Each structure stands twice: as C-alpha cells, then as structure tokens.
C-alpha cells in the first residue's frame, strides 16, 4: 500500500469516526437525504427503498446556497423542468429551431459555454461560502498542545446516546504516551492501564490543581446514570 501511494505521489489521510473532516460533503448530502426520507416514509419506515428515488429527485433539483444553484443545473446547465412542462417546451423547441440542424448546433455550442461559466460561478460561490464558514468556526477554536506524559481527560462520546442531565462530559484520568503527526494521541488509562488511540480534539488537559475529591464525585455521578 505504501509503495503504491509513493509511486503515484499520493498522501493517505486518516479520519476517525468521530471527526470525519475528509468526508464532510458526503455527510452533509446524506443528512439532507435522510431528512427528506423522514418526512415521506410510512410510520413503519419499511418503504424507504421505494421513496429514495423521489427523495434524490427533490434533493438534486432544490436550490443550494453554497453553490448558488441546484445540483441539476450544475450538471446539465439549465434549471429542471417538471414532466407537465415537457410538452410545452417540446413544442417551443420545434417552433424555435424549426429542425434547423445548423441553428441547433450553434445553440448547443452556446449552451456548453454557458454550462462552463455556471460551473465556474458555482465553484467560486462554494469557495467563498467555505471560507466564511471556516472563519466562523475558527473563532471558537481553542489551541491544544499535548506532550508525552501529560495527564488528560477524554470526552464522553456516548453521552448523546445515553443522555443524563447531571452526567459529566469528560472521563479519565489518562496519560498521553505518544502524539502523532495528524493530531491523533495515544493515551493510557490510569485506572485500568488500557492503551488506545483517540483524536486530539476529544482530549483536554487535566490541571493538577483540580480537587481530586470533586473528580471522584463526578465519576460516581457518571456511574449512577
């Protein structure tokens, strides 16, 4: 695998299940399709396979703010027309072109040029939208720097599945053993001695001046819920 990546000058990016930056666009698309299906399936939710075509049609023909147009227009270069409009547009096309091959050819070339311009505009709109989103997101980022031997707390990722109003969001203590290049950290539990690797975004430093009795109360409260 490494030899193949080196041969084609490719870089292998690793993403954890809790931090999928490398597949963000697919996650957004899947979430939109899921939201559409939730509104049209039966209460038993067993007919989702027969509804998926309509859901995808609705998603692809809807206007998207990041790209400034619908995915359908981005691919075909013109807005989507419903089946009830086809008869009218077919008659309009026959009347306009009058089966003139030369005129139709020139019109098609113009459409291809307009399609390229639409895709360039879409790319620019998407770039501006992502830059604004990144600036908004980066304002609330706290820089974290971990080193081997630091004591840290781990974010409780299953809290959303089993909610508890008084449960702590952080569990631990853990000791950092090794910090990898792409932000992953290898940690070891001080209680059980278990060693595993997590994303650095799920960790926060443990301050030694923290009251140990308060930490015990938090852990007991987490076990009760």
Cα separation of 42 and 74, whole Å?
32
- Is residue 21's pLDDT more than 80? no
- Is residue 159's pLDDT more than 80? no
Per-residue confidence at 148, pLDDT binned at 50, 70, 90? confident
Percent of the residues in the chain that have a pLDDT greater than 70, as a whole number: 73
Please give the mean pLDDT across all residues of the chain: 77
* SS3 of residue 175 by DSSP: strand
Question: What's the pLDDT score for residue 220?
Answer: 54
Read off the pLDDT of each residue in 41-62 and give the average, rounded to a whole number.
87
Q: What is the pTM of this model?
A: 0.43
Domains, the chain, with CATH or none: 2-138 (no CATH), 151-224 (2.30.30.140)
Question: What's the pLDDT score for residue 130?
Answer: 87
The two most distant CA atoms of the chain are separated, in Å, by 87
Question: What's the pLDDT score for residue 171?
Answer: 82
- Is residue 77's pLDDT more than 80? yes
Distance of CA 21 to the CA centre of its chain: 7
- Is residue 211's pLDDT more than 60? no
Question: What's the pLDDT score for residue 22?
Answer: 56
Cα separation of 78 and 118, whole Å?
9
Question: What's the pLDDT score for residue 162?
Answer: 53
Question: What's the pLDDT score for residue 28?
Answer: 80
Q: Which residue has the higher pLDDT, 182 or 123?
A: 123
Nearest Cα residue to 154 out of 117, 189, 107: 189
Nearest Cα residue to 119 out of 80, 63, 77: 77
Q: Which residue has the higher pLDDT, 181 or 188?
A: 188
Read off the pLDDT of each residue in 157-181 and give the average, rounded to a whole number.
72
């Amino acid at each position: 695998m490494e030899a193949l990546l080196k041969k084609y000058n490719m870089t292998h990016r690793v993403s954890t299940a809790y931090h999928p930056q490398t597949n963000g666009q697919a996650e957004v698309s899947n979430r939109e399709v899921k939201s559409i299906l939730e509104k049209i399936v039966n209460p038993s939710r067993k007919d989702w396979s027969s509804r998926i075509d309509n859901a995808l049609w609705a998603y692809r023909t809807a206007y998207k703010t990041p790209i400034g147009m619908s995915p359908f227009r981005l691919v075909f270069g013109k807005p989507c027309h419903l089946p009830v409009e086809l008869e009218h547009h077919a008659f309009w096309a026959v009347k306009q072109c009058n089966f003139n091959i030369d005129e139709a050819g020139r019109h098609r070339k113009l459409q291809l040029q307009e399609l390229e311009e639409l895709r360039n505009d879409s790319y620019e709109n998407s770039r501006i939208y992502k830059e604004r989103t990144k600036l908004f997101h980066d304002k609330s980022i706290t820089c974290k720097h971990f080193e081997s031997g630091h004591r840290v707390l781990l974010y409780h990722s299953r809290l959303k599945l089993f909610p508890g109003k008084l449960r702590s969001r952080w569990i631990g203590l853990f000791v950092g053993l090794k910090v990898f290049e792409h932000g992953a950290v290898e940690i070891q539990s001080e209680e059980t001695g278990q060693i595993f690797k997590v994303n650095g975004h799920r960790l926060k430093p443990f301050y030694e001046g923290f009251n140990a009795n308060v930490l015990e109360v938090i852990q007991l409260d987490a076990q009760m819920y």
